[in-house]
Amino acid sequence: MLRPLTDGRNAYEVSIYNRDVRAAVKGNQSHILFGDHWADIQFQDVQAQSETEARKLMSRRYPPDQGFVIEELTALG
């Protein structure tokens, strides 16, 4: 069972990459804004009250319209 943090939020691990960077790296190019490491899965932690809120928070920080793709969101606990 997921254990809430002291303020009522839960911890989630998010697997995220950038599809535009991935395409650029595949073509032996680099993205103009984001480093090549974004071609690979990056792991980020986020605290939220729900999985839906965690996705919203991550989408604000890593906007889908800039190529970011959440591959997986896992509750920690």
The pLDDT of residue 32 is 94
The pLDDT of residue 7 is 73
Q: Is the residue at 61 inside a domain?
A: yes
Q: Is the residue at 49 inside a domain?
A: yes
3-state helix, strand, coil in the chain (%, to 5): 35, 30, 35
Going from the C-alpha of 26 to that of each of 3, 30, 55, 74, the distances in angstroms are 40, 9, 27, 28
Q: Is the residue at 77 inside a domain?
A: no
Please state the pTM of the whole predicted model: 0.86
Q: Is the residue at 44 inside a domain?
A: yes
Indicate the number of domains in the chain. 1
For the stretch 41-72, pLDDT in tens is 999 999 999 999 999 999 999 999 999 999 99
Q: What is the mean pLDDT of the chain?
A: 92
Q: Is the residue at 4 inside a domain?
A: no
Q: Which domain holds residue 49?
A: 10-71
DSSP label at residue 36: G
